[in-house]
Structure 1
Amino acid sequence: MDSKTTHSLTQFNTLGIKADCLRLVRARQEAELVAICLQAFKQQEPILLIGGGSNIVLTETFEGTAVLVETKGIEVTQGEQCYYLKVEAGEVWHDLINFCLDNEMPGLENLALIPGSVGAAPIQNIGAYGAELAQFCDWVEYLDLVSGEIKRLKGGDCEFAYRESIFKNALKHRAVILRVGFVLPKAWQPNLSYGPLQELSERSQGVTPREVFDCICETRMAKLPDPAVLGNVGSFFKNPVVSQQTFDALKRQYSDIVGYTLDDSKIKLAAGWLIDRAGLKGLSVGNASIHLKQALVIVNKGGCSGQDVCDLARLVIDRIFEQFGVRLEVEPRIIGATGQKELADA
């Protein structure tokens, strides 16, 4: 490795981890993106797609091609009841929401300030404050690396679940998302069921989409550190889903435990509450630390390695399991020399 030319990925991951790759290319047009990915795939070269770099933990030099997805473009059509958007993968997610509000097409405002690109959003089925991408996804268009074809999946066929999709499972390592289609109903109804938004629902006068947007932005900025100031990937741990029986048992022991009932009567626990209740805020390994204001966030205090982050994440998971009997999972992708790996192997 020492004799090979490498390229820095430090500025392309929001954790600010110092890491390199063997080849770094920018793809600003679809044709470039397709050609680069197909060439690397045919040569059996590892491929790392980077949008906003807000969902990756780099643990070592990436021995392949890192592709910066920078394709841009938003097209809008409309029917009698809905707006339809075709959005290129390289668009910044938060910029899309601003675009929609500026053009009086509300619906996505609960997902404001989630870092990352549009192309990465379906992979995680991003969600926050009572909303998920799956509610608005009309279709996803992707390059199938095996066949070389460009295919389109309807939203209902993407196997969306909590932080899950077909792109993390059956199409993992096979699909390169090119663009996403969204459908936004013209008959807008505010989603005020979650957290600080409940205060807006108590008002006697109507709530506007911009007010919902502003509330979400203010809440996120108060709780989540700016990656430009303190490196992070936002929420590091998924909210675990448990049975009603498990929740009831925990409730008897911890009366203030935070949980939300899902459609199938399962309970989604607040991972941040579990970490906070276990007294883990400020816990550090090397220069990686649990953020003092938001227990879901791991921050880079300066010069931390991907190994620091992974070791800290494992420590948190073990501590939570020991105290609550609940196993946390991580949200970001752990990236090793040849691609994504499991946290246990990092």
Structure 2
Amino acid sequence: MTSSFPPPAPQNLSAFNTFGLVSHADAFVRIDDAAQLPALASLAATYPSLFVLGGGSNVVLPARVAGLVAHLATRGIRRLQDKEGCRIVEAAAGENWHDFVAFCTGQGWDGLENLALIPGTVGASPVQNIGAYGVELMDRFDGLTAYDLQARQWVEMDAAACRFAYRDSRFKAEPGRWIVASVRFRLPLAWQPVIDYPDLQRHPRLAASTPTARAIFDAVCEIRRNKLPDPAVIGNAGSFFKNPVVPARQYDELKALFPGLVAYPQPDGSWKLAAGWLIDQCGWKGRDLGRAGVHARQALVLVNRCGADAADILALADAIRKDVALRYGVQLEAEPIVVGGFRSA
């Protein structure tokens, strides 16, 4: 293990973000080993800001990123132990999330298959508290190891310490304090398929009475590829907006006005509205605004049509927000992090 790294240097970040935005870092270092994080904390103290960059799939980068950018590229996956009916698997923060899910599925370590093809890194998964097709990260979370940049010490955090909420966590509330080094997952030994989501119920691969985890993995990949554009073909950051959660009373009022409203009941009595439906009904699906646009098949996805910059993406997002708020009285919240200070992704 090494605790040092080459001196920071300017870096073109255009290939480090899935939006394909042209961006340059004033100072850039690559972290290949978690043992380098204490040295990174010391180095970061000499810069006005630190931005920790993982897969770049959940960020909007400006033309210039001032301060220090640290690209987390650590690797490693290992099975730790079986306890309390679960298999504990740990992955380094720099591992590609989808590759990690594919590896686990191939090993017969089932439980993450619904989360296949989500872009980004393992380290970003608890920050965003990712979820898809009926499974949330917190459902499979055991704990993580992080470095506290303020206290200059290693910490272990369980789910309670992470303060998970819908697409949210403590790490978003305290940006710039923590760097996730590795994440541990609890995968059930007595695995049961989770296929309640309508797209999965309709998928022919899952017609069997008891589909396998591999079948679910393949179905999720197929569904996502059909719905979402490949960033290698057209720049995007996946779903740009969170699905807004509203109280039951507001849902009832909206449902009366808009009978086709798509929404999902929540355990606490609230309702999660389908943001894509709201955006589509406002006429934005497939529509462009300058050099940015909304994908023709998925209204949640904003795309870089032709040389868009951060201002283009944010102008489009603001226009969509205003239209949805005007028509439905609902405020949309962006998922990606807009870089400009002590942030991590």
Question: What TM-score, normalized to structure 2?
Answer: 0.93
Provide the rounded CA distance (Å) in 2 between the counterparts of 1:331 and 1:300. 16
Show CA shifts across 1:260-279 (max 9, x none): 00110100000000000111
The alpha carbon displacement at 1:253 in A equals 1.6
Find the counterpart in structure 2 of residue 234 from structure 1. 238
Provide the rounded CA distance (Å) in 2 between the counterparts of 1:38 and 1:87. 25
The question of 1:199 aligning with 2:202 is answered yes
The alpha carbon displacement at 1:37 in A equals 3.4
Provide the rounded CA distance (Å) in 2 between the counterparts of 1:157 and 1:58. 29
The 3 A distance-change label for structure 1 pair 175 and 204 is closer
Question: For 1:156-235, what aligned pairs fall within 5 Å after superposition?
Answer: 156-169=160-173, 171-199=174-202, 203=207, 205-235=209-239
1:113 maps to which of 107, 110, 117 = 117
Answer yes or no: is the 8 Å Cα contact 1:192–1:200 preserved in 2.
no
The question of 1:58 aligning with 2:68 is answered no
Answer yes or no: is the 8 Å Cα contact 2:176–2:342 preserved in 1.
no
Answer yes or no: is the 8 Å Cα contact 1:110–1:213 preserved in 2.
yes
Question: What TM-score, normalized to structure 1?
Answer: 0.93
Question: For 1:177-326, what aligned pairs fall within 5 Å after superposition?
Answer: 177-199=180-202, 203=207, 205-326=209-330
Provide the rounded CA distance (Å) in 2 between the counterparts of 1:277 and 1:203. 32
SS of corresponding position for 2:333? coil
Amino acid at match of 1:60: A
Cα-Cα RMSD: 1.6
Amino acid at match of 1:294: Q
The 3 A distance-change label for structure 1 pair 286 and 6 is farther
The 3 A distance-change label for structure 1 pair 176 and 66 is same
Amino acid at match of 2:124: A
Find the counterpart in structure 2 of residue 344 from structure 1. none
Answer yes or no: is the 8 Å Cα contact 1:275–1:281 preserved in 2.
yes
Answer yes or no: is the 8 Å Cα contact 1:48–1:339 preserved in 2.
yes
Answer yes or no: is the 8 Å Cα contact 1:250–1:324 preserved in 2.
yes
SS of corresponding position for 1:78? strand
List gaps (5 residues or longer) in structure 2: 1-8
Provide the rounded CA distance (Å) in 1 between the counterparts of 2:161 and 2:30. 30
Question: Which shifted more, 113-122 or 30-39?
Answer: 30-39
The question of 1:47 aligning with 2:50 is answered yes
The alpha carbon displacement at 1:200 in A equals 5.7
The alpha carbon displacement at 1:79 in A equals 2.0
Amino acid at match of 2:231: P
Show CA shifts across 1:221-246 (max 9, x none): 00100000000000000000001111
1:334 maps to which of 327, 335, 338 = 338
The alpha carbon displacement at 1:204 in A equals 5.4
Answer yes or no: is the 8 Å Cα contact 2:21–2:307 preserved in 1.
yes
Show CA shifts across 1:308-331 (max 9, x none): 001110110000000111000000
Find the counterpart in structure 2 of residue 26 from structure 1. 30
Provide the rounded CA distance (Å) in 1 between the counterparts of 2:25 and 2:203. 47
Provide the rounded CA distance (Å) in 1 between the counterparts of 2:190 and 2:256. 42
Question: Which shifted more, 59-68 or 291-300?
Answer: 59-68
Q: Quote the sequence identity (%).
A: 42
Provide the rounded CA distance (Å) in 1 between the counterparts of 2:211 and 2:38. 43
SS of corresponding position for 2:218? helix
The question of 1:151 aligning with 2:161 is answered no
Question: Which shifted more, 53-62 or 220-229?
Answer: 53-62
Amino acid at match of 1:138: D
List gaps (5 residues or longer) in structure 1: 342-346
The 3 A distance-change label for structure 1 pair 14 and 306 is same
Provide the rounded CA distance (Å) in 2 between the counterparts of 1:69 and 1:61. 19
Amino acid at match of 1:238: K
Amino acid at match of 1:124: Q
The alpha carbon displacement at 1:286 in A equals 2.0
Amino acid at match of 1:88: A
SS of corresponding position for 2:41? helix
The 3 A distance-change label for structure 1 pair 204 and 284 is closer
Provide the rounded CA distance (Å) in 2 between the counterparts of 1:145 and 1:21. 21
